[in-house]
C-alpha cells in the first residue's frame, strides 16, 4: 500500500475564495488552528484572481495547501500549492461532472498528474448549490453510498472518497457504510461540522472531516474545537484497532 499525504489528515479546512474571514482573523490564524491541510475551492463565483489571493496569503505557513478546482477555468498554477484535488461527482445527473469537465481540462492544459489527485464525491444534500449544479441524485440509501465508495476505489482507482452533505449534518450510518465498503482509500466527510461533538461523531467513521463555512461564519476558535474533536476520535479508532 502506497502512502499519500492525506493518510495522516484528520481534519481539513476548506477555504472559499469568494468568502471573507471573520472580522479580526487572518489566514495565519486559520493555519494555526491545528488543521492538517487547507483545500481552496468553492462552487460559485470563484475566479483565478480570488484563488490566487488565498494561495498567496496561506503559502508561507507550514500547512499543506491544495486547490480543489470546481471547473478547469479556475485552476491556478502555483508552486506554493502542494497539489490539486479534483472532484468527480459519481452521483451527478449530468455527465459533465463525472468525466466531461475533466476531459475538457486535459484537452486544454498540460496537467501535472504527479500532483493531481482525484476525489470521488457523493453529494447527499439536495438543497446544496453543488447538488443543484451537478443535478445530483441525492435519493440514496446507505447501501447506495457504500456501493459508490466501493466502485470509486476499485473500479475508478480513486484515492479519496468524499461524502458531502454540505450545509447540513449528515447521517453517521451512511458514512459508516461508506467506510466499511472501502479498503485502502481515504474517506473524507463534509457537512455541518460545527463543534467538538459533531466533528467527533463523524470522525468515528470518516478518516478526515472537512469544515468549510465554519471558518468563514464562526471563526478559528470554532474550527479549533472541530480539530480537537476529529483528532480525539481518530485516536480512539487507532486504540481500537491496536486492541483488536
Contact set with a second copy (CB under 8 A): 86, 88, 90-95, 98-99, 102-107, 111, 113, 116, 118, 143-144, 146-148, 150-151, 154-158, 181
**At 215, is the secondary structure helix, strand, or coil?**
helix
What is the nearest approach in angstroms of a second copy to the Cβ of residue 130? Answer: 16
Q: How far is the CB of 155 from a second copy (least distance, A)?
A: 5
Query: In the complex, what is the shortest distance from the CB of residue 167 to a second copy, in angstroms, rounded to a whole number?
Result: 23
CB 33 to a second copy: min, Å: 31
Residue 178 C-beta-side C-alpha neighbours within 13 Å:
33
What are the b/e assignments for 57-85, b being 16+ CB within 10 Å? bbeeeebbbbbbbbebebbbeeeebeebb
Least gap, CB of 90 to a second copy (angstroms)? 5
Q: Is residue 54 within 8 Å of residue 77, measured between CB atoms?
A: no
Task: State which residue, 19 or 154, has the beta carbon closest to a second copy.
Answer: 154
Structural contact between residues 14 and 212, judged by C-beta atoms closer than 8 angstroms: yes
Which residue, 49 or 184, is less far from a second copy as judged by CB? 184
Residue 26, Cβ density class (10 Å: 0-12 exposed, 13-18 middle, ≥19 buried): exposed
Q: Residue 150 or 171: which CB sits closer to a second copy?
A: 150
Nearer to a second copy by Cβ, of 144 and 213: the residue is: 144
Nearer to a second copy, 22 or 111 (CB): 111
**Close Cβ partners of 147 (under 8 Å, ≥ 6 residues apart):** 181
Q: Are 145 and 163 in contact (CB under 8 A)?
A: yes
Q: Is 61 in contact with 28 (CB distance < 8 Å)?
A: yes
Amino acid at each position: 500500500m502506497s502512502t499519500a499525504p492525506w493518510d495522516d489528515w484528520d481534519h481539513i479546512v476548506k477555504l472559499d475564495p469568494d468568502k471573507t474571514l471573520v472580522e479580526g482573523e487572518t489566514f495565519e490564524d486559520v493555519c494555526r488552528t491545528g488543521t492538517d491541510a487547507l483545500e481552496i475551492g468553492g462552487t460559485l463565483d470563484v475566479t483565478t484572481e480570488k484563488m490566487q489571493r488565498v494561495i498567496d496569503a496561506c503559502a508561507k505557513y507550514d500547512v499543506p495547501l491544495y486547490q480543489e478546482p470546481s471547473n478547469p477555468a479556475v485552476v491556478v498554477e502555483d508552486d506554493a500549492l502542494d497539489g490539486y484535488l479534483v472532484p468527480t461527482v459519481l452521483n451527478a445527473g449530468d455527465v459533465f461532472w463525472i468525466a466531461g469537465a475533466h476531459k475538457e481540462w486535459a484537452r486544454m492544459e498540460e496537467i501535472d498528474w504527479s500532483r493531481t489527485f482525484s476525489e470521488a464525491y457523493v453529494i447527499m444534500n439536495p438543497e446544496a448549490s453543488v447538488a443543484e449544479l451537478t443535478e445530483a441524485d441525492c435519493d440514496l440509501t446507505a447501501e447506495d453510498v457504500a456501493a459508490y465508495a466501493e466502485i470509486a476505489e476499485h473500479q475508478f482507482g480513486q484515492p479519496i472518497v468524499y461524502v458531502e452533505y454540505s450545509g447540513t449534518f449528515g447521517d453517521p450510518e451512511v458514512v459508516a457504510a461508506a467506510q466499511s465498503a472501502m479498503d485502502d482509500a481515504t474517506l473524507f466527510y463534509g457537512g455541518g461540522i460545527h463543534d467538538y461533538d459533531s466533528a467527533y461523531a463523524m470522525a468515528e467513521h470518516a478518516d478526515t472531516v472537512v469544515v468549510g463555512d465554519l471558518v468563514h461564519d464562526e471563526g478559528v476558535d470554532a474550527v479549533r474545537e472541530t480539530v480537537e474533536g476529529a483528532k480525539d476520535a481518530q485516536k480512539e479508532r487507532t486504540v481500537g484497532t491496536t486492541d483488536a
